[in-house]
Structure 1
Amino acid sequence: MDNTVKILLLKIIKFNGDISPLIKMGYEYSQIVKSINEEINDGNAERKNGLLGITDKGNNLIDTISKKLNRTDSAKWIEPEIESKIPKIKINFVYLPNQNELTFRFDK
């Protein structure tokens, strides 16, 4: 698991967030549960009274990864939408999106 996904998972645990961004990135529920269990075994997260939470070690790991990824200020608490990123294209390339995939419609 790369650092961007790891920090997203830790923040989901910390803020009791939604796992749908991980699902959109292609992870299956079983992979997410396995990753959460790995974080618990590593001491970054814990279960207390039936609730999943983050430990001080996990908070320190979030800070460390944020520094590695050069995330400062608002980027520390606003996760970029990784699943919507597209590959870079050449500067002279004209991009025409598929009309069926647009979230908005033009009336003719």
Structure 2
Amino acid sequence: MINERLLYILLTIVKKNGDVRQMLKEGVSFKEIGDLINTGLELKLLVFVDDEIKLTTAGKTKINKEWVNFKSTNKADWILPDVKNKISKMGKNDIYLPNERELTF
């Protein structure tokens, strides 16, 4: 059984000519990504053209149809907190002087 959400993510990655890091963040293994690509090829949502994977018109239609179901409206998913530059709580009369070598922005 295919995971429709993961298939939708794969189709949008192919549409935007992106990479699979987003799927890896979702906890999907490379084998599962390969299986999803094979499923997309079998369902005629994807096609190989000149050694590249492209969307078919059926794939574009599926993205447009499934967009409503899988769009993210939670802003916490869009913007992640910057935990690398977070400083510890200080007293009212303390002055923070950052070390320039430790800043990442």
Structural mapping, 1:60-99, within 5 Å: 60-67=61-68, 69=69, 71=71, 81=77
User: Residue 92 of structure 1 corresponds to which residue in structure 2?
Assistant: none
Quote the Cα distance in structure 2 between the aligned partners of 1:18 and 1:70. 19
- Say yes or no: does 1:105 pair with 2:81: no
Question: Greater CA radius of gyration, 1 or 2?
Answer: 2
Quote the Cα distance in structure 2 between the aligned partners of 1:23 and 1:35. 13
Alignment size in residue pairs: 83
Task: Report if aligned partners of 2:8, 2:63 keep a CA contact under 8 Å in 1.
Answer: yes
User: Residue 19 of structure 1 corresponds to which residue in structure 2?
Assistant: 20
User: Residue 52 of structure 2 corresponds to which residue in structure 1?
Assistant: 51
| 1:47 aligned counterpart, secondary structure | strand
User: Residue 95 of structure 1 corresponds to which residue in structure 2?
Assistant: none
Task: Report if aligned partners of 2:7, 2:40 keep a CA contact under 8 Å in 1.
Answer: no
State the TM-score, normalizing by the size of structure 1. 0.64
User: Residue 31 of structure 1 corresponds to which residue in structure 2?
Assistant: 32
**What is the Cα deviation at residue 42 of structure 1?**
0.5
State the TM-score, normalizing by the size of structure 2. 0.66
| 2:53 aligned counterpart, secondary structure | strand
**What is the Cα deviation at residue 23 of structure 1?**
0.4
Q: Could you tell me which runs of 5 or more consecutive residues in structure 1 were left unpaired when the two chains were aligned.
A: 85-101
**What is the Cα deviation at residue 6 of structure 1?**
2.1
Task: Report if aligned partners of 2:45, 2:57 keep a CA contact under 8 Å in 1.
Answer: yes
| 2:54 aligned counterpart, secondary structure | strand
Q: Could you tell me which runs of 5 or more consecutive residues in structure 2 were left unpaired when the two chains were aligned.
A: 91-105
Give the partner amino acid of 1:105.
K
Deviates more, 1:6-15 or 1:23-32: 6-15
User: Residue 7 of structure 1 corresponds to which residue in structure 2?
Assistant: 8
Give the partner amino acid of 1:55.
T
